[in-house]
Amino acid sequence: DAKTTQPNSMESNEEEPVHLPCNHSTISGTDYIHWYRQLPSQGPEYVIHGLTSNVNNRMASLAIAEDRKSSTLILHRATLRDAAVYYCILRWNTGFQKLVFGTGTRLLVSP
């Protein structure tokens, strides 16, 4: 499985943008970049995913480097509810591949 590297923790203030980085230098051409997050005492929830182009949805934006060796999850205005562990995961989109969670980045949001 291609590996991802994320910082253990990051801090942000409420209503400020947050950029969560992920390095995946061994990514292959068929790997999609998925992001999940896990709020306290809850199961993980899907955030966003992409292949090559930047992606936006109601929760976040995903910026993918041109060489695809890194990506950044962007929360445009952090809220207290965004405090969670964010997981960056590589996954094929054809055939089945296990969703393998790493250690993720713990995001702390201060009022």
Partner 1 sequence: DAGVIQSPRHEVTEMGQEVTLRCKPISGHDYLFWYRQTMMRGLELLIYFNNNVPIDDSGMPEDRFSAKMPNASFSTLKIQPSEPRDSAVYFCASSLEVGEKLFFGSGTQLSVL
The contact set with partner 1 (CB under 8 A) reads 32, 34, 36, 41-46, 49, 91-103
DSSP single-letter state for residue 5: B
Closest to partner 1 by CB, 16 vs 39, is: 39
Closest to partner 1 by CB, 14 vs 102, is: 102
Q: Are 91 and 36 in contact (CB under 8 A)?
A: no
| Beta-bridge partners for 19 | 74
Provide the minimum distance between the beta carbon of 56 and partner 1 in the complex, in angstroms, as a whole number: 16
CA distance 111 to 98: 37
Provide the minimum distance between the beta carbon of 30 and partner 1 in the complex, in angstroms, as a whole number: 11
Tell me whether strands 61-64 and 45-50 are parallel, antiparallel or unpaired. unpaired
Closest to partner 1 by CB, 13 vs 103, is: 103
Give the torsion sign (CA, 88, 42, 80, 57).
positive
Provide the minimum distance between the beta carbon of 66 and partner 1 in the complex, in angstroms, as a whole number: 24
